[in-house]
Structure 1
């Protein structure tokens, strides 16, 4: 199996193509992510970060170029194939955790597997409990999301994203709704998960300190990658 998890070749995205409202958001994006990489995606508001993440997450389709996920081209795939590839290969963590308040913490972690195959197996439940242990929340498994803190809710969301064992985890401003101390704690968890599980992680962030904590930083400006290299550590 290739060590390449993601490859973008000449990716472009234009909205309202061929109309007076045409807007080119991404241009000639070339990018590769290897297995086990921890990478930050940074750039000013309006630079195209969210659009790029939506393309990588197979939530939208590029208007130019090709996106390969684990070596498989995706642009011409039908909706069913894209949904299957997304469920098999990707995990998502967002700024807002989107936990379901009617279900327990454990049930929220299990939700991707419940959606995929119905009633979870004993092995799935054991995996979910082990992930809650990894994020330090095993004692809260039976609590409802409304009964735990914001930082704890984000840790539940991270465990949920990992329950399918995805090779690529996409995180969109995962600490943007947290105070600085809790944000640093959550980001430390990302680093530990990256090392322990070996999954690639792409994190969109506006926080320069968090970006500097990633071994690699990609900067997007006006829909183009303007830099891609090792992060420069910032002083504490």
Structure 2
């Protein structure tokens, strides 16, 4: 794989809390791995293994104590907060277990939200893209409906469309099917697959569900703050 395809790279990444205190604790102990655009990967590990901490650092929501995280080739540890926020907004899409839609807004307004926050009123191109994404997630007919009128599975699909509106290089999904029934969960999973293949967007799913991780192409297993296994499916 060429470096051109590399979306994210972690080098000797460590994270500690309560630094300098008697109860100082290191949660991540020198993590190294890279994610490429064609990757469809699962991050797994028991509770307390450091998955959430790592996910927050991967998403540039938190900073490592030491080591470096490169996003699209740019080192981020010395960046100003605003630079980091801009890079995150352009390059990473997030989907969480709880979809965090704004219930009083319409579906299309929710999808456009990241662009509206960055650029104000959406232009025609943005509107067209939002409609294309709603079509891709099978919700075209609900564009003008309030988010509060949708089922949980539908709301999660809106959240995926919202995560993709900025055309990110990386989609981070934290337990994205955690509170969906199995039928809806597999539909959402298929949607991630399409995003990965058609939009050249790397997908990293954080999941407790071994069935979900088994269907990914790559599994990164975190145990006690260290990468215990990083395997590609043959």
| Bin for the TM-score computed over the shorter chain | over 0.9
Alignment correspondent of 1:51: 53
Deviation of residue 36 (structure 1)? 2.0
Structure 2 unaligned spans of 5+? none
CA contact (8 A) 1:33 1:200 kept: yes
The alignment status of 1:152 with 2:148, answered yes or no, reads no
Cα distance between partner residues in 1 of 2:38 and 2:100: 26
Alignment correspondent of 1:10: 12
Cα distance between partner residues in 2 of 1:157 and 1:104: 12
1:203 to 202, 205, 220: 205
Cα distance between partner residues in 1 of 2:90 and 2:131: 20
Deviation of residue 196 (structure 1)? 1.0
Which residues of 2 match residues 39-188 of structure 1 at below 5 A? 39-188=41-190
Q: TM-score, normalised by structure 2?
A: 0.97
The alignment status of 1:218 with 2:220, answered yes or no, reads yes
Deviation of residue 191 (structure 1)? 0.8
* Alignment CA distance shift 1:42-1:231 (3 Å): farther
Alignment correspondent of 2:37: 35
User: What secondary structure does 1:217 align onto?
Assistant: strand
Q: Give the CA RMSD over aligned residues.
A: 1.0
CA contact (8 A) 1:211 1:231 kept: no
User: What secondary structure does 1:153 align onto?
Assistant: helix
Aligned length: 232
Deviation of residue 2 (structure 1)? 1.2
Deviation of residue 21 (structure 1)? 1.7
Cα distance between partner residues in 2 of 1:159 and 1:88: 15
